[in-house]
Amino acid sequence: MRVKPWFGCALVSLSMSSWLSAQAASSVPEELIKYPELIVYNAKIVTMDDRLVNENPGTVVEAMAVREGKIFALGDSQSILRYAGPQTQKLDLKQRTVIPGIINSHVHIHNDALSKWFDANPQRTRDAVGIFQVQGSTSEELVRQVERVLKERVSNLEPKKWAFLNLPTERGGTGRGIGTRTLQDRKIIAKQLDEWAPNHPVMVIAHPSYILNNQARRVLEEIYGIAPSMDEVPEDGFSGMGAEYRRSVIVDGYFNDHLDVLAEEIILEGLKDAAARGITTFSSHIMGINNFNAYIRLIRKYGRLPIRFGYSNYAGFQPNPSYAPGFYLRLGDQAGFGHEYFWMTGVGVSNLDGGPPMFCSSVALQADEKKREWCRIEPGSDFYKAVYQLILDGQRVNVGHNYGDKSLDIFMDMLEKAMAEKPSFTLEYIRSRQFTADHCGLYPRPDQLPRIQKLGIMLSCGANSMDRTFPNLGMYGMEKAEWISPINNILKAGVPVSFETESSLDNGLFNTFLPFITRKSTTGGYVVAPDQAVPRVIVMKMATSWGAKFLMKEDSLGVLQKGYNADFLVLNQDYFSVPLEELGKTIPLATVVGGEIVFLRESLAKELGVPTVGKEVIYGFERKDSTSAGRAME
């Protein structure tokens, strides 16, 4: 008698098992079979799954299947299409390029949306705040005009209504305009504003400088139950925190009784607009407690947002930093936790310094210029004590605004001081917290980079710092151009870096990539430290996989990979091969977030034979009269 080989039995068993599985599958009701909801095919899908510092964008495939908001499979078109079910939406992209959705690690979408809403609703603006433009070519003229406006026009407003007086500033946020100088030189002080408008909270604005009167201080105390500290708004009313107050007081004043408008007409529309421009995830602070309430209202109503938002919690620093330690000690560490569309990335500690020329630098200047700098995080200040306590309390600190090199030095001093004082705060622990700093306005210096790398700090850098900082190098030294968003130096030091804009995207999201690649200013046309230029693939990594790390979501966002969230863009042209002079005209034809098409441009919708989705965006370069490269946001 012959004995059959054991593997023969195994083959028979396997064949029978496969047959039985096929029979079972054919008898399962269709409702119980989870087919992909969406398949895109016949495309160039650049997955960006190579996270290393090189020019390799990673795996490129033809097709991708999406099921339950996540990527189910990637491969060639034929193999992926076989997953389609009766209800699967199949999109033939005809060789168009697909990339992961763009992650913007510092952009204030809700603030920009509020400004646009007020522009479009002048009557509602008048209900909320009095906004006045003040012109003049000298400080003396501006002072006279401020007095005239307050006496003749602000006096007609209802009592306690805010009056914002905008002084002229230089384009690009350089801080060199006559309005900024007028406030920095204290040509206007709180006492004068009190005399000229005794019944109204007044804020005179020339970003990054602000003057608030004492009525403004009293109204802030009514809103928040805490008056601004004398550190933040001294007796003369001068403040580097005016942007925070300006963003907050209307949200927490007027919109207290109009929360649905704030949520549906402003924030929701702002998020949809960002989706149409290619942003699928962003990070920002939340200034104005009602902004937080509005986001929560949207989540409860819709179960999601059009795009994802990793926010830094500013509440303990609004408006008085001396109360922050107790607030966050009671809140506890929530970094990384929340809803998949709305989660806390850490504690946003607001400004370590200001924008040019009110940043905090190590550069020796003449006394008249050095006095314009603002080192809010100077050791011994209330703010310093609050930030240091947060570190000791075990919070992940997201620096909300760091423009100069010295302010980052002080922050790193804090981390090393905490390690010296608490034995449990090992270097490994500090690195695990992934502390962050942003803007790269005039930092990092080359000698700072080893220390940044050692402490595990991640940077978020914006190309718009070239526009803002370079015009000030006449004072700081032209050689300091190497300190302005020096991406090459940062990467060579092994420091992770992500992409931010903090600017309007009217001229296209990918237009904001260009200065990193060319080192050419978008407003002045000058070239800034050309040796710091990086290839387009590196910028794409900053805006995808490396950005996901900044937001603590590197295991679910930033690359197109099985099991990751299905967040991606369909582009009008191939970002990776189009001539450089055309790269800025790259735009999304479709934006998909969590497997849902949140934007579909009319041209592609017609081709696919489906309805458009979202709001059509007309970019600056598509307008015949376009001269703007996008305005800087404060």
HEC-encoded secondary structure of 370-437: HCCCCCCCCCCCHHHHHHHHHHHCCCCEECCECCEHHHHHHHHHHHHHHHHHCCCCCHHHHHHCCCEE
CA distance 403 to 359: 6
Residues in a beta bridge with 599: 591
pLDDT tens profile 365-381: 999 899 999 999 999 98
User: What is the band of 206 on the pLDDT scale with cuts at 50, 70, 90?
Assistant: very high
Q: CA 117, 122, 128 angle in degrees (round to 5)?
A: 80
pLDDT surpassing 50 at residue 201: yes
Residue 538 belongs to a domain: yes
User: Is 384 a residue whose pLDDT tops 90?
Assistant: yes
Mean pLDDT of 380-384: 90
Q: Say yes or no to pLDDT of 23 above 60.
A: no
Q: Are 551 and 434 in contact (CB under 8 A)?
A: no
First to last CA, the chain: 89
Q: What average pLDDT does range 479-498 have in this prediction?
A: 98
| Tens-place pLDDT, residues 414-466 | 999 999 999 999 999 999 999 999 999 999 999 999 999 999 999 999 999 99
Q: 218 lies in a domain?
A: yes
Structural domain tally of the chain? 2
Report whether pLDDT(6) > 80.
no
Residue 354 sits in the same domain as residue 237: no
What CA dihedral angle connects 385, 389, 390 and 391, to 10 degrees? 110
**Domain match, 270 and 383 both:** yes
Residue the block writes with tokens 């604005």: 205
17: in domain: no
CATH number, residue 198: 3.10.310
Looking at the domain assignment, is residue 89 inside a domain?
A: no
Do 228 and 297 reside in the same domain of the chain?
Answer: no
Torsion angle defined by CA atoms of residues 570, 576, 580 and 585, in that order, rounded to the nearest 10 degrees: 0
**Looking at residue 247, what is its pLDDT?**
83
Residues 488 and 565 in one domain: yes
Residue 474, number of CB atoms within 10 A of its CB: 9
Q: What is the dihedral of CA 569, 434, 451, 405, to 10 degrees?
A: 70
Residue 19 clears pLDDT 80, i.e. is over it: no
Same domain (yes/no): 436, 457: yes
Q: What is the pTM of this model?
A: 0.91
Residue 384 main-chain phi, psi, to 5 deg: -55, -50
Is 98 a domain residue? no
Q: Is the dihedral of CA 595, 291, 300, 564 positive or negative?
A: positive
- pLDDT reading at 633 higher than 50: no
Domain boundaries, position 189? 134-255
The whole-angstrom separation of Cα 449 and Cα 453 is 6
Give the sign of the dihedral formed by CA 489, CA 478, CA 517, CA 598.
positive
DSSP letters for 499-521: EE--B--TT-TGGGTHHHHH-B-
Residue 629 maps to a domain: no
| Mean per-residue pLDDT over the chain, rounded | 90
The pLDDT of residue 3 is above 60: no
Single residue among 218, 234, 255 that ends a domain in this structure: 255
432 in the same domain as 303: yes
Q: Tell whether 193 and 323 lie within a shared domain.
A: no
Examine the fold and report which residue of 255, 271, 305 is the final residue of a domain before the chain moves on: 255
If one counts every other C-beta atom within 10 angstroms of the C-beta of residue 303, the result is 9
* 230 and 202 share one domain: yes
Q: Identify whether 234 is part of a domain.
A: yes
CA 594 to CA 598: how far, in whole Å? Answer: 9
Q: How many residues does the chain have?
A: 634
Same domain (yes/no): 525, 468: yes
Judge if 235 and 265 occupy the same domain. Answer: no
User: Where a domain ends, among 200, 228, 255?
Assistant: 255
Range 100-130 burial, b when 16+ CB lie within 10 A, else e: bbbbbbbbbbbbbbbbebbeeeeeebeebbb
For the stretch 497-551, pLDDT in tens is 999 998 768 889 999 999 999 999 888 889 999 999 999 999 999 999 999 999 9
pLDDT tens string 316-352 = 777 666 667 788 888 888 999 999 999 999 999 888 9
pLDDT beyond 90 at 487: yes
Q: Which residues are CB-neighbours of 13 under 8 A, at least 6 positions away? A: none
Average pLDDT estimate for 19-34: 61
Q: Rounded distance, CA 542 to CA 491, Å?
A: 11
Query: What pLDDT shows up at residue 26?
Result: 57
Residue 16 has pLDDT above 70, yes or no: no
Residue 546 tokens read as: 């490396």
CATH number at residue 474: 3.20.20.140
Q: Which of 471, 407, 469, 478 is nearest to 442 (CA)?
A: 469
The confidence score (pLDDT) of residue 14 equals 41
> H or E segment at 569?
strand 568-571
Q: Are 632 and 503 in contact (CB under 8 A)?
A: yes
Of 100, 83, 81, 82, which Cα lies nearest the Cα of 91? 81
Question: Is 243 found in the same domain as 139?
Answer: yes
pLDDT 10s digits, 259-277: 999 999 999 999 999 999 9
pLDDT score for 632: 31
List of residues 6+ apart from 581 with CB closer than 8 A: none
Query: 287-312 pLDDT, tens per residue?
Result: 889 999 999 999 999 999 999 999 99
446 shares a domain with 346? yes
DSSP per residue over 282-321, as a string?
EEEE--SHHHHHHHHHHHHHHSS-SSEEEEEE-GGGSS-G
The predicted-structure confidence for 56-89, as pLDDT tens digits, reads as follows 999 999 999 999 999 999 999 999 999 999 999 9
> Quick check: is 23 in a domain?
no
Q: How far apart are CA 484 and CA 524, in angstroms?
A: 15
Q: Cα–chain-centroid distance for residue 88?
A: 34
Kindly tell me the burial class for residue 583, based on how many C-beta atoms sit within 10 Å of its own C-beta (0-12, 13-18, 19 or more): buried
